[in-house]
Amino acid sequence: MGHRMQHLLAGNFPYLTAEVAGVVCGYAYAGPYRARPAYRWTVEDSVYVTPDMHGRGVGRALLKALIETSEARGFRQMIAVIGDSTKQASSVGLHAALGFQHVGILQDVGFKHGRWLDSVLMQRALGDAGSTSP
């Protein structure tokens, strides 16, 4: 995790943490969507909240701040790749509440705990999105 964080920060990608009463209870970061240069203005988000803090607005605060920080850094699109669509309804709802649109489902692309998993794809425009050159 430390190596991932250092790599993202060195690349000017945002990495945020949430803290309650001095204890880290979640994090969010935006990283490269694809390695090829054509996609350098598009980021993929990741949000994690400790189970004991679910439903308390931590994820919403983290994702909202991540969107704002990504826009401020000039990124134009944010992609959410949400694994295990059957168990991640809250993540899908969180992203939808903050302006992400459902753009597709990749079926049976992951295998974990003895079963195949889908990935839900969601997308949100940032800043000027595709209306102007970066």
Q: Is residue 130 part of a domain?
A: no
Residue 93 sits in a domain of what CATH number?
3.40.630.30
Q: Is residue 132 part of a domain?
A: no
Say if residues 97 and 73 touch (Cβ distance below 8 Å). Answer: no
Query: What pLDDT score was predicted for residue 3?
Result: 92
| Six token digits for residue 71 | 């826009």
Query: What pLDDT score was predicted for residue 45?
Result: 98
Q: Is residue 120 part of a domain?
A: yes
Higher model confidence: residue 83 or residue 44? 44
For the stretch 82-99, pLDDT in tens is: 998 777 889 999 999 999
Percent of the chain with pLDDT over 90: 89
Using DSSP, state whether 133 is helix, strand or coil.
coil
Q: Is residue 42 part of a domain?
A: yes
Residue 12 phi, psi dihedral angles, 5° rounding = 70, 25
Query: Whole-number mean pLDDT of the chain?
Result: 94
- Residue-number span of the structural domain to which 112 is assigned: 2-125
Is the model's pTM score more than 0.85? yes
By CB atoms closer than 10 A (0-12, 13-18, 19+), residue 67 is: buried
CA contacts within 13 A on the Cβ side of 113: 2
Tell me the mean pLDDT in the region 111-116.
92
Q: Is residue 13 part of a domain?
A: yes
DSSP β-bridge partners for residue 111: 116
The number of domains in the chain is 1
Q: Is residue 131 part of a domain?
A: no
Q: Is residue 134 part of a domain?
A: no
21 — pLDDT class (breaks 50, 70, 90): very high
